[in-house]
Structures are given as C-alpha cells and as structure tokens.
Amino acid sequence: MIKKAIFLLLIGLIHFGGSAQTQDTTKNFQKRKKLLQYGSATAYTLSMVGLKQLWYNDFEQTSFHTVNDNDQWLQLDKVGHAYSSYALGIFAIEAMQWAGYDSRKSVLIGGSSGLLFLTTVELFDAYSAEWGFSWGDIIANSSGVALLIGQEMLFDRQIVRLKYSYQNTRFSELRPEVFGSNTLESAFKDYNGQTYWASMNLSSVYKPFPVKWLNVAFGYGGEGMLIGEIESELNEKVYRQYYLSFDIDFEQFSTTKPWKKTAAKVLNCIKVPFPTVEWSKANSPRFHWLYF
C-alpha cells in the first residue's frame, strides 16, 4: 500500500501547474503543454525510480512470473487498485484540459494515465519473488479507468465517483509491520480500516432534485483480516461490510477561483462523514451516527 502514497504524490505533481496561470492565450497554452509534458515525464521517471529503489530493491528479484491473488483481502486490494487508477485519471484529465488539449484527447489520454502508471508497478511486481504479475490487478486498474472515461464520454461529467475513507482499527496494533505503526501508514496498509465508496450525485440522476451537492454513497469494506489468505486460521472471523450513506459533491459548488476548483477535486476523492447504515454477518443492520 505504500505504492498508493507515491501515486497520490504523483497526482499532485502532475496537477501542480493547473492553477498557476489564468490567461488562456495560445502562447500560454503552448507553455502549459511543455510544462505538462516535461513535468509528467519527470514525475513518472522519478516516481518509478524511487519506487524501485525504496521498495523493490529490498526484496529478492526473479524472472517474470504471474500470481493469482484474486481471493485475497476480500478483494479490497482490487477495489483499491480501481480507485487509484480512477483518482489519478481525474487529475490527469484536468491537467490536460488546463494545458489546452481538446476534451476528447484529454479524456482518452489523461483518463488512461492511471492504467499506464499502475501497469508499470505491476511489471515491477512481476520480477519480484515476493509478489508477481497479477491479471486481477490489471482488470481492477482497467475498471477504474473505464468508469472514468465511460462517464466522461457519455455524460461529460462524473455522476458516480469512487471515493475512499479510513478509520483506525486494532489490527494495526496486532501486526504493525504489516498494517502500519502509525495512522498515516495504516491508512495506506490496513485493509480492515479502509472503505471504498461509489458516490452518486442525486441531481445528476434527477435534475429537479433541490440539493445539487448531495450524493448517495454505497460503501464496501472488510473486517477480521490479519493476512491476505482469507481461509487461514491466523485470521479472525472474516466478513464483508456494506454501507449506505450520504455524501457531498464539492464540485457542485460554483466557483471561478482556480484554487477552489482544485480543492474541490481533491476533496471529492474522500468520502465525507455522514450517518450510515452498515450490513454484515456480524452486524446486520447497524446504524452509525457518523461513519468515515
């Protein structure tokens, strides 16, 4: 999960120039395109080299091999892959539009950037004895990209957004070397505390709906996992969790300030705490006054 942190940093690097200029002249667009091209290439190279040095060099290298890990972690890692490719594509599309590329090219190229970056990481996995090339990961990455590009092409907006939330669990204390020794690490590593959401804007589905910023959100999580193999006796009672809640679409608030638009996109990657109903084998149903 440390890879996710690197990609979130990469998102910021790619999007950095988006609010730096306001005059949309041809000359400015030419400068922006060069800035985006060189910046993206630099960010990609540095992130891949850094990931290789800081992560993969600590593990034994081997020949290219595949692994079937589709039955691990209640598939939360796969949902996390879809979310990562989706979130990266969101910012890449806006960065390309800021640089003056037309809408179709921005959506197709920018929206696919998450698949490019995460496939590179998958190739690193393929030569590591600790992991392997996972077709399940590739399918998950592609699903996030397909959701993003499909909505942009069909509706010219995101009606359903993938979002993320996290809360601390006791599992990080039981296995801090796996799930993180502090809250920041655990937010990236502890699948037991992660929830992934499909957040749908109600006014986009039903135009007369009076509250333009209100979303309904469907969440998925898991509990009881100490290791990835679900059937292992090392795990506790493992079960899936399903959630129904509300959420906020920050991009529905009108603004002309570039930094506010950027802030809205960042905030739209995170689920806002709201009253929530949970269904699971352990608690069905269970009401949370506020759940994040």
pLDDT at position 59 is: 83
pLDDT at position 130 is: 86
Question: Per-residue b/e over 62-80, b at no fewer than 16 CB within 10 Å?
Answer: eeeeebebeebbbbbbbbb
What stretches of 100-198 show up as alpha helix (H) in DSSP?
Answer: 103-105, 111-126, 135-155, 171-174, 176-179, 183-189
Over residues 12-32, the pLDDT tens digits come to: 545 544 444 445 667 788 899
Over residues 139-191, the pLDDT tens digits come to: 999 999 999 999 999 999 999 999 999 999 999 889 998 888 889 888 988 99
Over residues 27-44, the pLDDT tens digits come to: 788 899 999 999 888 888
Cβ contact 213:253 at 8 Å: yes
Over residues 95-122, the pLDDT tens digits come to: 999 999 999 999 999 999 989 889 999 9
Cβ contact 282:239 at 8 Å: yes
At 28, which amino acid appears? N
Give CA angle at 233 (231, 239), nearest 5°.
50
Least confident of 150-154, 157-161, 222-226, 261-265: 261-265
How do strand 239-248 and strand 274-280 relate by DSSP bridges?
antiparallel
Q: What is the mean pLDDT of the chain?
A: 88
Alpha-carbon distance 195 to 292, whole Å? 8
Half-sphere exposure of 156 (CA within 13 A, CB side): 2
pLDDT at position 19 is: 46
Residue 9 in this model has a pLDDT that exceeds 80: no
pTM beyond 0.85: the answer is: yes
pLDDT at position 20 is: 45
Residue 80: name the closest of 131, 146, 37, 144 by CA.
144
Of 11 and 141, the structure prediction assigns the larger pLDDT to: 141
Residue 54 in this model has a pLDDT that exceeds 90: no
Mean pLDDT of 130-136: 94
pLDDT at position 48 is: 85
